[in-house]
Structure 1
Amino acid sequence: MAGVALLLDLLRKNPSVSTQTLHSYGLFSATVAASAAAASVAAGRPFASRFLFGDGGISVAFSDAGAEWAEDYISNLRSASANIFQHGSIKYNTKEYPIELKPLFSAFGLRSFAMTSLRSFLMFYLPLLEPRSNINEDDDDFLQDSSEEQHIDLVVPFKKSIKQIIRETTVVTTRRLLERLAVHYVSERMAWKLLKDAPKSAKRKAGRGMPTFVYFYSVSRTTFRGHLLGVLASWFVQVGIEIYRCFSRIANDEEVDQVAKREQIRVLGKKVSGATIRCGSALVFASIGGGIGALFHPSAGQWIGCAIGDFTGPIIVTFCLERAFHLEV
């Protein structure tokens, strides 16, 4: 024990040896310190840390108890720190929000552009294929009509189809721009909700065993968020077209007075209000239709219900407003 005390005095006098080195090699443990203190008290030799342990009046039994307590404390501290650093850093329960942005000009892809073109041409050319016969017509009128050649104008439907294609591709491109703005200017969690795939989300929710009303509400809310940017893009395009038409009429007509300009502005405000009502009703009915459709089939039912609600919502709201308030929406 006296040799250990001499060793500690030697280490105190040598400043080149750092405290970190002593701790790393375990030389400065509580057991050695307590043993050295006991040896110094027993041998009557000076101890390097006498100001900590006092003079020779401290009993050896008390020093042994303090050393045992210090050794248990240090061992527990070392075991806890070893468990932390051996098993890695602390793992936090964080949720990732994977965001997948579609290409900016995805509307001009081969498949998307082909479907848009086919739908637009069928929309304006199918009414021309309807039979136009009158059962109650006389024989003379029938012979007269059959002798005359019926001319069908194919240029006007073609122009309308081209305009519809341009409008739909503009809406899709505007939505892609809004998606990129949402990623840059809103939080990551909100952007993930706005860009979430609603049919896949409804399928995941169906596997959680939710109650019917909770499942309907959750799918409707997800559909509302996922359909919001599309409806907002459609509103921007409709309002932009109406503003362009209004100011182009005012600019082309040089004889327009102040009263006519005010009337054009009033009509523009009315059309903007009508577009807002139609887009809002489409969003609400699409959300409800998606929730109802998901009750029958999580993925396909949600998509079909959303499409039906988006199409029928503006028609129903416009009809109700025209009947109730005699408004032209």
Structure 2
Amino acid sequence: MSFLKLKIGYRTLKTAIGTAISIFLAQQLDLMYPASAGIITILCIQVTVKQSFRTAWNRIMASFLGLGIGMALFYFLGYSPLAILLAILLFLPLAVRFGIQEGFVSSMVVLMHLYSSERMDLPLLLNEAGLLVIGVGVALLVNLYMPSLDKDLRAMQKQVEQLFRQILREFSYYLRHGESEWDGKEMIEAPGLLEKAIRLASRDIDNRLGRRDDSYYQYFVMREKQFELLERMMPIVSSLDTQVPQSHRIADFLEQISASVHPGNTAYRFIDQLRQMREEIKESELPRTREEFETRASLFYLLREIENYLFIKHELGKNSDDKKTAAVNKAKPGA
């Protein structure tokens, strides 16, 4: 009875319903080859709304191209396998040239109808046009409904932020104690999660017609850039095993940033605080030993990378005019 536990996805359900509707409509209109309308619907239903429209357009253009090539060859060579061979050999390079090669199957369906019928009269051409209109039209209508991805994107957002918090906390701990038992698993998990989140956010954009809400996409791209800086910070932090007062100050600062990792964006507050701290460190007592001097230099380099990390978030908030992001930004400071 395990088959009862099978999960049917939205795309599977839409494909099944759309195929049945297309065949039903073609039969009601008494079209020849009604199953072909269902095949065209199956081919046109894509992962996103925009992909469906693009695919539909390409298949229509490819079908007309295939129809034109086929009619010309059938006229001169008759309805023979040689004509089919030449039609395919001519069609594919042209389809690739025009970027409509994904319409190969649907165009061949139309071509085979002409070949099977051995005629090219107006009723048959109208029949093929009707199959295309029904197949493509039903696919577009069915695919207009896309389940919201907001829940998944928010969940990924929380996962990314949790990883960033932990990474920053571990950096802070090492600066404070000069040692750590951290295994660095968050540094391994973050790239894959960010890549997956960016793909999902891009898909979410392609599901929206007429309005472009790319706040999640911009957010995850921003986090990806920040993670590159965290990767650059890691060897700097791990090299700072000499305890100096400045290390503890930066550790406290990283702890504050860690506690403020969320979608909100007032990173400029942390940037101002960092610059003030850097000036105070410059004015502090000079290093007495070479080891202290090297540690001080590494700390300044670390501060520069932290500033870059914060600046990336600050730029996102400054450049974004998305209402959802703006509303969140007003809530509380974030890094």
In which range does the TM-score fall when normalised by the shorter chain? under 0.3
Q: TM-score, normalised by structure 1?
A: 0.23
TM-score (norm 2): 0.22
* Structure of greater relative contact order (alpha carbons < 8 Å, 6+ residues apart): 2
Give the greater-gyration-radius structure (CA): 1
